[in-house]
Amino acid sequence: MYKVFVNDKPLFLTNQIFKETDFQLFLLESADIKQIIVKIFQNKIQKAYLYHPDEKEILKTLKTKLPVQKAGGGLVYNKKNEVLFIFRNGKWDLPKGGIEKGEEIEYTALREVEEETGVNKLVITDKLQKTYHIFKRNGRYKLKITHWFEMRTSFEGTPQGQLEEGIEKVAWLGPDEIKEALKNSYENIKLLFEEKAP
């Protein structure tokens, strides 16, 4: 099963049929995906499942219905085991950004973290899950697939937010501050921390 977020509401891609209770079930093959997305953005649908019998085909089928944008991002730890967060559009987020032509996704993640925060000396230590969300740009809906990597850094300086990307603040947060920040973050960022929980 995949969780794709639309306006921070879950759209589940599944190969299992559930009895509808608090959600709507659509057949992925025949569903008008744009109609579903619009209804989620308008708060007419709170939670939806898209059904396809073959789990291997679920994501492929969705990709035929929406243009895909690949991105790379980092869950970055410093020497004190604090995590690097950015504050943008009124929410706490992790640094990430779109892939450029010919780039390896690991390089994208490293480049974007450095560009958005000024933090360098980054080393990838683990590959994390991918997250999926649908957004609207220039009147078109797109599926963003973000590849996340755990990183470590020996960077000692003061992180600087990339102003042209609208980053107001960059901060190293400890465990208690992370809990607070996640209350004002995005659902797919929370997923990364659920994955890391022991």
**Tens-place pLDDT, residues 87-109:** 999 999 999 999 999 999 999 99
Q: Do 116 and 41 fall within a single domain?
A: no
For residue 198, pLDDT beyond 60: no
Q: Do 111 and 28 fall within a single domain?
A: no
- pLDDT tens per residue across span 64-74: 999 999 999 99
Q: Do 150 and 61 fall within a single domain?
A: no
Distance, in Å, from the CA atom of 69 to the CA atom of 141, rounded to the nearest integer, reads 11
Domain boundary pick from 41, 65, 89? 65
What domain count does the chain have?
2
pLDDT band at 195 (very low <50, low <70, confident <90, very high): low
- pTM for the predicted model, two decimal places: 0.91
Supply angle C-alpha 47, 53, 54, rounded to 5: 110
Q: Do 92 and 176 fall within a single domain?
A: yes
For residue 62, pLDDT beyond 70: yes
The residue segments making up the domain with residue 30 are 2-65
pLDDT band at 196 (very low <50, low <70, confident <90, very high): low
Q: What is the DSSP annotation of 117-176?
A: H---SEEEEEEEEEEEEEEEETTEEEEEEEEEEEEEE---S-----GGGTEEEEEEE-HH
Domain boundary pick from 20, 39, 65? 65
pLDDT score, position 197? 54
- pLDDT tens per residue across span 123-177: 999 999 999 999 988 889 999 999 999 999 999 999 999 999 999 999 999 999 9
Distance, in Å, from the CA atom of 140 to the CA atom of 23, rounded to the nearest integer, reads 25
Q: Do 36 and 109 fall within a single domain?
A: no
For residue 5, pLDDT beyond 80: yes
Which is nearest to 161 in space by CA: 92, 109, 100?
92
